[in-house]
Amino acid sequence: MILVLEDWCKGCEICVKRCPLNALELSDKLNKRGVYPPKLKAENECNSCKLCELICPDFAVTVTLDEEKKSKEPKSRLIIGGIVNEV
Ligand code: SF4
Ligand code: SF4
């Protein structure tokens, strides 16, 4: 899931053009800066890679993992002698 601080967006479209899954599109609603901020086309098209969050020059995007995905992820990984233990 992505959260967009819509009024922080300056409409550069970097996030839309660089998303590896082409999961973003421009909203049809102008923000306070007079541009169209991005939005997800559909929730399941995003894999939460966080690229859009990292490359947004205005820090307008935050990517959050949904609760289901979070609970399936190991809290940490301990690698001892080539054996991976999920802790
Ligand atoms: S990269 Fe940031 S500023 Fe540029 S369109 Fe996306 S959200 Fe807006
Ligand atoms: S988190 Fe990755 S896949 Fe999802 S919208 Fe951003 S760049 Fe695209």
Which residues, listed in sequence order, are joined to residue 40 by a DSSP beta bridge?
Answer: 24
Residue predicted with more confidence, 25 or 77: 25
The torsion of the CA quartet 12, 16, 17, 21, rounded to 10 degrees, works out to 160
Index of the ligand 2 atom closest to the CA of residue 63: 1
Distance of alpha carbon 41 from alpha carbon 5, whole angstroms? 17
Given this structure, which CATH class describes domain 2-86? alpha beta
> Which whole-number Å values give the CA distances from 11 to 48, 63, 78, 80, in the listed order?
21, 18, 42, 47
- Each residue of 32-65: pLDDT tens digit? 999 999 999 987 899 999 999 999 999 999 999 8
What does the block give as tokens for 87?
């802790």
For residue 18, the model assigns a pLDDT of 98
Q: Which residues line ligand 1 (CB under 6 A)?
A: 4, 9-15, 37-38, 56, 58, 60-61
For the chain, the domains span 2-86
Other CB atoms within 10 A of residue 49 CB: 13
For residue 13, the model assigns a pLDDT of 98
